[in-house]
C-alpha cells in the first residue's frame, strides 16, 4: 500500500484547511480503504472527519429533509422522520450494501463512492477513470453491468449509489463548505457525467467538504418508494432501479419525481416520464405509457441491451406500486 499520513480533525474549518492542502477526507472508509489496498487510490494524506458534528437529521421549516454528511446509512434509514416523510430514502438505503457496511458508511461517503466497474478496480486494465488517457477496457470488453444512459466514448461506468437515485428524484442539494465558504449545489450538477474527463466525478473544489444533503420540499401527501432489480436479493448493486415520489390531489397527479439507477453514468432523472404523468389520473395504462419514455436516449452496449426493457418494466412497476392502479 502507498504510504500516507493520517490526521484526525475535530472542527470543520480544520478539516477544510487540511483538505485545501491535499488531504483526502475519510469517514466510514468502506470504499476508500478497499481502493487503497488495491492501489487504485493512492492518497498521500488522509484526514479523518468522523469527529465532526455532522450527524443530524432534520426536517426544514419548508418540509425538506436534511441529512448530515456523517449520518450513517443505517442511522438515516432508521430515522422516524425519514421513514414517515421520505420512505424512498429509507428504502434506497436499506436495499444497499450489507448491514455491516450500512452501520459504518456515511451519507456523504455514499454519494462520493466510486464505480464498481471491474476494469476500474483492476490496475492492469486500461481505464480512463483511474488513469486518464489509458483507454476504456469496458467499451469493447464485458459490459453487462454498465450504463446505457449518459455514456461517452471514454467511459460507460454506472454510479453505484442507491440513495443518490432517491436524492436525484427529490431534487436534493449538496451542502458544501470550502476555503471560500459555504455553497449549495443541486444534485443534478454535483455528480458529473464522464464526457472526455471520466476521472472528474464531482463538482467539488479543492478542500471542499460535504456537510449535508437536503431534499426539496414537496406538497403533502407525498407517496414515495424505491425499487431495485439485481441478480441476487442481497448485497448486490442494481441492474436497474427506480425512485418515485408522487403527489396526487383530487384524483389527479400534481407532482411526479422519477429517477433511475443502475443505468446511468450518474443517477438518472427521467423528466419525460414525469411530464407524461402530470395532470393525469392514475391508471395502469398511464404507468405503461409513461414508463415507455424512460429509455428515450438509451445507448446500450454489446452485453447490456437487456437493460432497456428491464428499465421500462422497473419504472412501470414502481409507478404502479407508488401510484396505485385505479
Ligand atoms: Fe474505466 Fe469507465 Fe471504462 Fe470502466 S467504463 S474501464 S471505469 S473508463
Give 64-104 pLDDT, tens digit per residue: 999 999 999 999 999 999 999 999 999 999 999 999 999 99
For the CA of 146, the closest atom of ligand 1 is 5
Ligand 1 centroid to Cα of residue 137, in Å, is: 6
316 within some domain: yes
Which atom of ligand 1 sits closest to the CA of residue 125? 6
Q: Residue 109: which CATH number?
A: 3.30.465.10
Question: Is the CB of residue 137 below 6 angstroms from any atom belonging to ligand 1?
Answer: yes
Smallest CA-to-CA distance from 49 within 90, 74, 17 is with: 17
Q: Is residue 298 part of a domain?
A: yes
Question: How much distance in Å is there from the Cα of 136 to the middle of ligand 1?
Answer: 5
Per the DSSP assignment, residues forming a β-bridge with 214 are 66, 173
Predicted local distance difference test score (pLDDT) of residue 113: 96
In a domain, 29, yes or no: no
Enter the pTM of the model: 0.98
Q: Is 158 domain-assigned? A: yes
Domain enclosing residue 267, as ranges: 53-326
What total of structural domains would you count in the chain? Answer: 1
Residue 3 lies in a domain: no
Asked whether residue 326 carries a pLDDT value surpassing 60, the answer given is no
**Residue partners of 222: CB distance under 8 A and separation at least 6:** 85, 245, 246, 247, 255
For residues 293-299, give the mean pLDDT. 96
Buried b (16+ CB within 10 A) or exposed e, 93-126: bbbbbeeebbebbbbbbbbbbbbebebbbeeebb
Q: 145 CB under 6 A from ligand 1?
A: no
272 part of a folded domain: yes
β 57-59/65-68 pair status: antiparallel
Tell me what percent of the residues of the chain surpass a pLDDT of 90: 99
Res. 300: pLDDT tops 80:
yes
Please, what is the average pLDDT of the chain? Answer: 97
Burial call 160-192: b when 16+ CB within 10 Å, e when fewer? bbbbbbbbbbbbbbbbbbbeeeeeebebeebbb
Is 260 within a domain?
yes
Q: Does residue 280 form part of some domain?
A: yes
Amino acid at each position: 500500500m502507498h504510504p500516507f499520513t493520517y490526521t484526525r480533525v475535530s472542527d470543520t474549518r480544520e478539516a477544510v484547511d487540511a483538505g485545501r492542502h491535499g488531504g483526502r477526507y475519510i469517514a466510514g472508509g468502506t470504499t476508500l480503504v478497499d481502493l487503497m489496498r488495491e492501489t487504485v487510490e493512492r492518497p498521500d494524506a488522509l484526514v479523518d472527519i468522523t469527529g465532526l458534528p455532522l450527524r443530524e437529521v432534520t426536517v426544514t421549516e419548508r418540509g425538506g429533509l436534511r441529512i448530515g454528511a456523517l449520518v450513517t446509512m443505517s442511522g438515516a434509514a432508521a430515522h422516524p422522520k425519514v421513514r414517515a416523510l421520505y420512505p424512498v430514502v429509507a428504502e434506497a438505503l436499506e436495499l444497499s450494501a450489507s448491514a455491516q457496511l450500512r452501520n459504518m458508511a456515511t451519507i456523504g461517503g455514499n454519494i462520493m463512492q466510486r464505480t464498481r466497474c471491474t476494469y476500474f478496480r483492476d490496475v492492469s486494465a486500461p481505464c480512463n477513470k483511474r488513469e486518464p488517457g489509458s483507454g476504456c477496457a469496458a467499451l469493447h470488453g464485458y459490459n453487462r453491468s454498465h450504463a446505457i444512459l449518459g455514456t461517452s466514448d471514454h467511459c460507460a461506468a454506472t454510479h453505484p449509489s442507491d440513495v443518490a437515485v432517491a436524492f436525484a428524484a427529490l431534487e436534493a442539494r449538496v451542502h458544501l463548505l470550502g476555503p471560500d465558504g459555504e455553497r449549495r449545489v443541486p444534485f443534478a450538477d454535483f455528480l458529473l457525467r464522464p464526457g472526455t474527463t471520466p476521472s472528474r466525478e464531482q463538482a467539488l473544489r479543492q478542500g471542499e467538504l460535504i456537510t449535508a444533503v437536503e431534499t426539496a420540499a414537496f406538497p403533502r401527501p407525498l407517496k414515495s418508494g424505491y425499487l431495485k432489480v439485481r441478480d441476487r436479493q442481497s448485497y448486490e448493486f442494481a441492474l436497474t432501479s427506480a425512485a418515485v415520489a408522487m403527489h396526487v390531489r383530487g384524483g389527479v397527479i400534481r407532482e411526479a419525481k422519477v429517477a433511475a439507477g443502475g443505468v446511468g453514468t450518474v443517477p438518472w432523472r427521467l423528466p419525460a416520464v414525469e411530464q407524461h404523468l402530470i395532470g393525469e389520473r392514475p391508471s395502469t395504462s398511464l404507468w405503461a405509457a409513461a414508463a415507455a419514455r424512460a429509455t428515450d436516449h438509451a445507448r446500450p452496449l454489446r452485453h447490456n441491451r437487456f437493460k432497456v426493457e428491464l428499465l421500462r418494466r422497473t419504472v412501470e412497476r414502481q409507478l404502479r406500486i407508488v401510484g396505485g392502479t385505479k
